[in-house]
Amino acid sequence: MEQEDFTEMEPPPSPKPSFVRNVNLAAMDEDYLYHLALDTKHNDLKDMFRDVKFVCFGGSPGRMKAFAFYMVKQLKYKITAGQTLEDISKGSDRYVLYKVGPVLSVSHGMGIPSLSILMHEILKLLNHAGCDPGEVMFFRLGTSGGLGLEPGTVVISEAAVDGLLRPYMEVATLGMVIQHPAFLCPELNKELLEVSKSVGCQSVLGKTMCTYDFYEGQARLDGAFCEYTEEDKRNFLKRAHARGIANIEMESLCFAAMCHRTGVKSAVLCVTLLDRLQGDQISTPHDVMEEWQCRPQRIIAEFIRKKLGIT
Ligand code: R2B
Ligand code: URA
């Protein structure tokens, strides 16, 4: 059956920025951000986070710790002798959270459920802290499989689509399926493309397919199960490619949908680790991949430096 083409759907307008839209929150005496090991009773969230302007998300705790240390250098901060950056969420063991001046670096784990929990708690945290949602930006810095791109290319997502190429996230809420559009910000993307050129990173704009699984969800032939042929796989990936899908990963749909609901400016930058039209296995040497994974970080670091006027 020919798949319906949703890829040219017009983005709905963004709402007035607000980190939260929930009348119940105002009535709560205390709020426990359980997975971040922070709460409004024991932590002065205003004092800790009021100056946050850039929230950078990435899957791996190690990579987001490294990004925090990288930002220390990029923002020309000094760490006093005998001190180090602390994982603010070390009490939880679920996510890591580092703060370097106006930059938060936070890990989200793999897949939509893990990211979704974190997004709710980060959004509430910024709201409790009294940050201005019109002044804050969110970035997902990740990895992906590319379609027809040289590995190491950074894809800046124009929109995220699900495994049926639909540009919205479906959430089962109260026994109903609710659809949340997953569009990103074209003006910010244009700016990021310029910055990526200025730091010498090969980058492209394109749509990102977000799946609920790495293997069958991404049409791999090398999972523990596979009930389709190589030709089925090739046809599916080629059709996606023909509809403007540049890469495939596992969080952009939720990230874009939740950011769109807030009206906060946001972007997704994922480096491609392989060309999925050529294969499934990720076999590039570790050191080469390490350098590739730094590329989205380099672009965002330069973007932040520019915004802060750091030369
Ligand atoms: C990219 O890489 C991870 C799977 O290897 C997943 O979190 C993603 O989106
Ligand atoms: N991450 C994914 O989700 N898919 C890939 O192919 C590579 C990284």
131-153 pLDDT tens trace: 999 999 999 999 999 999 999 99
Going by pLDDT thresholds of 50, 70 and 90, the confidence category of residue 1 is very low
Nearest to 218 by CA among 310, 137, 287, 281: 281
Per-chain mean pLDDT for the chain: 96
Q: Is the pLDDT of residue 48 over 80?
A: yes
Question: Is the pLDDT at 124 greater than 90, yes or no?
Answer: yes
Residue 2 has pLDDT above 70, yes or no: no
Q: Which residue matches tokens 């063991």?
A: 93
User: Six-digit token pair at 148?
Assistant: 């027809």
Measure the CA–CA gap between 233 and 239, rounded to whole angstroms. 10
| Distance (Å, whole) CA 283 – CA 289 | 9
Asked if 162 and 3 touch (Cβ cutoff 8 Å), the reply is no
Tell me the mean pLDDT in the region 296-309: 98
Q: Ligand 2 centre from 123 Cα, in Å?
A: 26
Which CA distances in Å does 240 have to 69, 209, 268? 37, 8, 19
Closest ligand relative to 268 C-alpha: 1
Q: How many angstroms separate the CA atoms of 158 and 76, rounded? A: 32
pLDDT higher than 80, residue 234: yes
Is residue 294 over pLDDT 60? yes
Average pLDDT over residues 208-232: 98
Best CA proximity match to 279, nearest among 216, 211, 221, 207:
221
Is 143 assigned to a binding site?
Answer: yes
Looking only at the bridges linking them, the beta strands covering 203-210 and 245-249 are parallel
| pLDDT of res. 79 | 86
Closest-CA residue to 152 (of 186, 86, 202): 202
Examine the pLDDT at 8 and tell me if it is beyond 90.
no
Report the separation in Å between the CA atom of 47 and the middle of ligand 2, taken as the mean of its atom positions: 38
Q: What's the average model confidence in pLDDT over 168-185?
A: 96
Find out whether the beta carbon of 103 lies less than 6 Å from any atom of ligand 1.
no
> Which tokens in the block code for residue 13?
């307008």
59 in ligand 1 pocket by Cβ < 6 Å? yes
Write down the pLDDT at residue 69: 97
Any ligand 2 atom below 6 A from CB of 143: yes
In this prediction the pTM is 0.96
What is the C-alpha to C-alpha distance for residues 295 and 201, in angstroms, rounded to an integer? 7
User: Hey, which of 273, 283, 292 would you mutate to test ligand 2's pocket, going by the most ligand atoms within 8 Å of its Cβ?
Assistant: 273
Residue 54 β-bridge partners:
103, 137
Residues with Cβ < 8 Å from 86, sequence gap 6 or more?
98
Mean pLDDT lowest for which of 7-11, 89-93, 210-214, 215-219? Answer: 7-11
- Statement: residue 272 has pLDDT above 90: yes
Do residues 242 and 279 lie in contact, with contact meaning Cβ atoms separated by under 8 Å?
Answer: no
Evaluate: CB of 282 within 6 angstroms of ligand 1: no
- Any ligand 2 atom below 6 A from CB of 302: no
pLDDT value of residue 187: 97
**What is the band of 199 on the pLDDT scale with cuts at 50, 70, 90?**
very high
Interatomic CA distance for residues 148 and 83, integer angstroms: 46
In degrees and rounded to multiples of 5, residue 133 shows phi and psi of -65, -20
Give 117's DSSP letter: H
pLDDT score for 82: 83
Give 110 Cα–ligand 1 centroid separation in angstroms. Answer: 6
218 annotated to bind ligand: yes
Per-residue confidence at 204, pLDDT binned at 50, 70, 90?
very high
Residue with tokens 């426990």: 32
Domains of the chain in sequence order: 29-308 (3.40.50.1580)
Distance CA 48, CA 138 (A): 18
* Structure-derived torsion over alpha carbons of residues 264, 49, 132, 68, reported in degrees to the nearest 10: -40
What Å distances lie between residue 43 and 34, 74, 282, CA to CA? 13, 28, 42
Q: What does the pLDDT read at residue 6?
A: 64
Phi, psi of 258 (to 5 degrees): -70, -40
Residue in 211, 250, 293 to alter for ligand 2 test, most ligand atoms within 8 A of Cβ: 250
Q: pLDDT of 64-105, one tens digit each?
A: 999 999 999 999 998 888 888 999 999 999 999 999 999 999
